[in-house]
Structure 1
Amino acid sequence: MSRVGLYWRLLQGVVENPRYYYFVLRRSAYNETAKRLAHNDLPAQGTFYPVKLDLRIIYGCNLRCKMCGQWGDTGTYFSYDTAKLQRTLKLDVIEGVVKELAPHGLRYVDIEGGETFLYPQIIELFQMLKRHRLFVKPVTNGTLLKKYAGELVDAGIDAIHVSVDGDEQAHNFVRQAEWAYDRTMEGLQAIIAERERRNRHTPLVQVSFTMTRHNRCLSLYKLCEELAGKGLLDVLTIKSNPIWMSTATGEAYNKIVAQYFGVNGLTSWKGFVEDYRDFEEEAKEIEQTIRRLKTKDYDFFVHHLPSIPLAEIPKLYTNYNWNLGRTHCPVPYLEPTIDVDGQVYPCNLFADEPLSMGNVNEQPFLDIWFGDRYQTFRRMLSEQGGLLPICNRCCQLTEH
């Protein structure tokens, strides 16, 4: 399909779902809040509410991806006991939070795990969220999509984020499962087929590739060539770098948190400890590969994150202290995370129970949102200059 054909297909999706595209492309709340924070214009208590909600609905996963901070080589979920791993975030609890927040401007819900589609009421969750007129995007490894393709299209979700980390050989190596790539491709085929059967252009199918030392540039190029012309996706998002940090960075974060909250033993960051400072030559190749891919006449749109000039990609690896020019994180004012056990966190990535803001199984969400612990966290962030030591490669920061 020519580039013109691709743009025509994407335009049809925009016409079918204009509110969604207006929200995700404009991102006005994030930009405006970040600017205010940078000028020390802190929003007054009671004047700001979440526009986006991140739900981690299940801990379990059917894969063990090498770079995953949950179940990967250094993943932290291996330390969870059996009882905790069997929990799920209850549907009625989620709906209670949604009913609190929808009247105050909640627009978007991201859903993740673990593996999202292992959640036993996943379709019911989609249906409930759409009844409240929310934008819905599940994140998935794609291996269970074939089973649910028709139902998820009928549920009317807006987008689906499918992780694919290379061509078949590289992807299966990263996933540590020889069957992973084929099942994910079958899932993508099933979703597109169900869309066409219903004459729909939603959900938007977004495939996400994350660059790590486990896959590298050649696997990205091979993946694009394998996907080309098959009509399996709308957008390929290339995450130019993984989430990573040093042990010293994590320990510096722990000291700051102990100062403000009097808690110790935060470990979520340990799932991302890695040293990519030796990756400079590969990073230059990443830059050139993305440039090359953006010139290709693929039947999907190629997008890269973070949104920085391509020439600056090597700095993502060689200089961890570089903050990409993002000086203040707006997420604690706009985008809370609710974990499987109901704990509420101001950051999606670094969720440690000692740093929970409160639990939605025990109190209303807005009491937590405007509570003392959330206020202390926002004050801590402000007094530390808008970012914490572990923030510089966090996906929530780099994707804004």
Structure 2
Amino acid sequence: MKSREEYATIRAKEAANKAFYAREDGVAAAPHTVCLSVNTNCFMRCRMCDIGTANAAKGAPGEPRLFSGRYSRPGRQREFPLERVLELVDELAPHGPTIKTNFVEPLLWSGLERLARYAKSRGLQFYTITNGWTLARHAGWIADTGVDLVRVSIDGPPEVHDRLRGVPGSHARAVAGLKALVAAKKTLGTERPILGVCCTVSDHNCRHLLPMLRGLREEGLLAHCYVNINHLQYTTAWEAEQSREQSPLLAHASPCSLDGVDLAAIDVPALAEQAARIAREFPAGEYNVYFSPRLEAGDLAAYYDPKAWMFPGTPCYLPWYAAQLDMDGNVGVYGHCVLPGFGSILDAGERGGWRGFMDVWNSERAREVRLALKRAGSFAACNRCIGTLYPLRGRD
């Protein structure tokens, strides 16, 4: 399936970028993927997400979280300036990265179609991620534009998904959106976009993964979609505290993705059994269902043990691979990455206009952060990030 080819292409790009890790100056090649936070508009109340739990709290005071503070702030809804994004595409076009809109709900951003069309006109791949609520109404232009990949969040069978997301009818809307895209692709006779379903494991759905897949099969979607079942990426209080002690660069580290999740309620044996049953019922030769990271029995128990540190000091190469921009134009590394940003592309440049992306990507601050990470290998708050779980990636 095309998703496997896409995965192999990304791994090849990472191998090329990794060559820069050996440099002593912290300089990196242009990232193979540039992710954009294009708005602050998310109405879901997902229990495994800091933004969702903040939405559910309706502004009640609480400890600030790195994830929600970075991508979704209270008050008037904001959008990333479209003019700057289009100029960014021009800057990046010679380097050929994939452009991905991943926060907060891209299909609610007014500039999405224009950005997608422009990125494709400049020869770049374009991905987007969505909760699926408005996907059906966008299906026509997405298929017509040649968007390369659309990933939709589905976190269980209908009743589980809707309860977890706090919005009744959200499962039905996501499924309808996927079906609309399948139909639009058939009408146009195109293989793009690749369609994906993303599920995040938590205590709310850890016993319902197999029913979710069976439901998607009954809807006729598994013939058209890959499914990524992602283990919850979380940061505990001790990991955040130890990271703050490890480096002044991590003074802002905080717990992540735990306000609405009870780790003790995650049934690890049941989760392992479901993974085994999924492998038998949805074999790789017939279906495209992946766990990320791919954890085996011992790793699975450690992963959901809040006291365990799986691979202390394991090298992380993500700051040499991928970039994430937040709403202030700050260039960082990865959606959940604890590392600080490198600078903003919304700042004024030395010669007028905006500060260039590559100037920020290899700024003095960027090189300082990369070299600090290289010396440490990784930090405590990196414990369950895919960047430090590369020892498990060879199983894929």
Shorter-normalised TM range:
0.7 to 0.9
- 1:5: which partner in 2? none
Runs of 5+ in structure 1 lacking a partner?
Answer: 1-9, 15-19
Is 2:381 aligned against 1:381? no
- 1:238: which partner in 2? 229
After superposition, the Cα gap between the structure-2 partners of 1:351 and 1:392, relative to the gap in structure 1 and judged at 3 Å, is: closer
Is 2:47 aligned against 1:66? yes
Q: Indicate which of 159, 168, 172 corresponds to 1:178.
A: 168
- 2:301: which partner in 1? 314
- 1:278: which partner in 2? 264
Distance 1:297 1:244 in 2: 28
Q: Indicate which of 55, 78, 82 corresponds to 2:36.
A: 55
Distance 1:279 1:31 in 2: 38
1:129-208 matches, cutoff 5 A:
129-208=119-198
SS of equivalent to 1:237: strand
- The aligned length equals 368
Distance 1:30 1:375 in 2: 18
1:1-400 matches, cutoff 5 A:
10=1, 13=2, 21=5, 24-25=8-9, 27-31=11-15, 37=21, 41-42=22-23, 44=25, 46=27, 48-72=29-53, 76=65, 77=68, 80-83=73-76, 86-103=77-94, 105-217=95-207, 219-232=208-221, 233-239=224-230, 241-258=231-248, 261=249, 264=251, 266=252, 269-272=255-258, 278=264, 282-296=267-281, 300-309=287-296, 312-318=299-305, 321-323=308-310, 327-350=314-337, 355-362=340-347, 363-384=355-376, 386-395=377-386, 397-398=388-389
Distance 2:243 2:325 in 1: 21
- 1:3: which partner in 2? none
The C-alpha deviation readout for 1:340-364, integer Å capped at 9, x for no partner, is: 2211113321478xx3311101111
In percent, how many aligned pairs have the same letter? 21
Distance 1:275 1:166 in 2: 16
Which is worse superposed, 48-57 or 310-319? 310-319
After superposition, the Cα gap between the structure-2 partners of 1:230 and 1:244, relative to the gap in structure 1 and judged at 3 Å, is: same
Runs of 5+ in structure 2 lacking a partner?
Answer: 55-61, 348-354
Distance 1:204 1:382 in 2: 35
After superposition, the Cα gap between the structure-2 partners of 1:111 and 1:236, relative to the gap in structure 1 and judged at 3 Å, is: same
The TM-score, its normalising length taken from structure 1, stands at 0.82
Tell me, yes or no, if the aligned pair for 2:312 and 2:378 is still in contact at 8 Å. Answer: no
SS of equivalent to 1:120: coil
Distance 2:8 2:313 in 1: 19
After superposition, the Cα gap between the structure-2 partners of 1:128 and 1:43, relative to the gap in structure 1 and judged at 3 Å, is: farther
The C-alpha deviation readout for 1:120-146, integer Å capped at 9, x for no partner, is: 111111111111222221111111101
**CA offset at residue 29 of structure 1?**
3.6
Distance 1:171 1:335 in 2: 30
The TM-score, its normalising length taken from structure 2, stands at 0.83
Distance 1:36 1:284 in 2: 41
Tell me, yes or no, if the aligned pair for 1:245 and 1:273 is still in contact at 8 Å. Answer: no
After superposition, the Cα gap between the structure-2 partners of 1:321 and 1:275, relative to the gap in structure 1 and judged at 3 Å, is: farther
Give 1:89's aligned amino acid.
Answer: F
Tell me, yes or no, if the aligned pair for 2:49 and 2:260 is still in contact at 8 Å. Answer: no
- 2:350: which partner in 1? none
Give 2:332's aligned amino acid.
Answer: Y
The C-alpha deviation readout for 1:260-299, integer Å capped at 9, x for no partner, is: x4x84x266445468866357x222212211211222587
Distance 2:73 2:338 in 1: 13
**CA offset at residue 182 of structure 1?**
1.1
- 2:57: which partner in 1? none
Give 1:335's aligned amino acid.
Answer: A
Tell me, yes or no, if the aligned pair for 1:59 and 1:115 is still in contact at 8 Å. Answer: yes
Distance 1:118 1:24 in 2: 31
Tell me, yes or no, if the aligned pair for 2:360 and 2:366 is still in contact at 8 Å. Answer: yes
After superposition, the Cα gap between the structure-2 partners of 1:371 and 1:340, relative to the gap in structure 1 and judged at 3 Å, is: same
Which is worse superposed, 170-179 or 290-299? 290-299
- 2:58: which partner in 1? none
**CA offset at residue 23 of structure 1?**
6.1
After superposition, the Cα gap between the structure-2 partners of 1:146 and 1:130, relative to the gap in structure 1 and judged at 3 Å, is: same
Which is worse superposed, 242-251 or 230-239? 230-239
**CA offset at residue 112 of structure 1?**
1.3
After superposition, the Cα gap between the structure-2 partners of 1:231 and 1:44, relative to the gap in structure 1 and judged at 3 Å, is: farther
Distance 1:151 1:109 in 2: 17
After superposition, the Cα gap between the structure-2 partners of 1:202 and 1:94, relative to the gap in structure 1 and judged at 3 Å, is: same
SS of equivalent to 2:232: coil
Tell me, yes or no, if the aligned pair for 2:96 and 2:123 is still in contact at 8 Å. Answer: no
After superposition, the Cα gap between the structure-2 partners of 1:344 and 1:316, relative to the gap in structure 1 and judged at 3 Å, is: same
